[in-house]
């Protein structure tokens, strides 16, 4: 339960998986199946590096411009491989039948899978579990939250 609350808060704040049509679903499936754990780890690193530019967290974590550019290069190559080679047919069909947002929606699914892999780390799970130290289960009973 403790890990779930932390995971839910992070995911709900960072990744919004949109509803999509069948062609977008096929593209998303292809993106996930065509990436390795290492690819998805790079995607998480890129998302994290880019997020450090937000004023709310920029003083907490510093990622150099060079490191961010390297992540941009890596993810740019990944996107080109996925959309230009591995999932080219699915991308074309999704775009032709379902419109402009298919790429964004499909990559949100890939990002969600990558995030799930990130949270499978015991150290990350432990960090989120610490949130429970600051919750008051009594005040959340009406939601069915148990200690």
pLDDT tens-digit series, residues 81-137: 999 999 999 999 999 999 988 988 899 999 899 988 888 889 988 888 888 889 888
List the Cα angle 102/108/113 in 5-degree steps. 135
**What's the N-to-C CA distance of the chain in angstroms?**
8
**Domain residues for 117?**
19-121
Is residue 27 assigned to a domain? Answer: yes
Whether 107 contacts 25, CB under 8 Å: no
Is residue 77 assigned to a domain? Answer: yes
Query: In the chain, how many domains are there?
Result: 1
Is residue 91 assigned to a domain? Answer: yes
Is residue 74 assigned to a domain? Answer: yes
Is residue 104 assigned to a domain? Answer: yes
The torsion angle over the Cα atoms of residues 4, 43, 109 and 103, rounded to 10 degrees, is: 160
pLDDT score recorded for residue 145: 67
Report, as an integer, the average pLDDT of 21-43: 95
Is residue 60 assigned to a domain? Answer: yes
State pTM to two decimals: 0.76
Is residue 26 assigned to a domain? Answer: yes
Is residue 85 assigned to a domain? Answer: yes
How far is CA 128 from its chain centroid? Answer: 16
Q: What percent of the chain has pLDDT over 90?
A: 56
What would the pLDDT profile of 69-92 be if each residue is shown by its tens digit?
Answer: 999 999 999 999 999 999 999 999
């Amino acid at each position: 339960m403790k890990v779930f609350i932390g995971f839910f808060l992070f995911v709900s704040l960072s990744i919004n998986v949109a509803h999509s049509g069948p062609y977008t679903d096929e593209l998303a499936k292809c993106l996930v199946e065509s990436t390795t754990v290492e690819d998805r780890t790079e995607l998480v690193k890129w998302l994290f590096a880019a997020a450090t530019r937000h004023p709310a967290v920029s003083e907490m974590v510093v990622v150099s411009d060079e490191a961010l550019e390297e992540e941009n290069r890596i993810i740019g190559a990944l996107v080109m491989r996925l959309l230009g080679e591995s999932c080219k047919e699915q991308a074309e069909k999704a775009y032709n039948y379902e419109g402009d947002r298919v790429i964004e929606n499909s990559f949100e699914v890939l990002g969600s899978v990558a995030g799930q892999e990130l949270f499978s780390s015991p150290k990350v799970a432990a960090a989120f579990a610490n949130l429970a130290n600051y919750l008051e289960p009594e005040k959340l009973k009406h939601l069915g939250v148990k200690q």
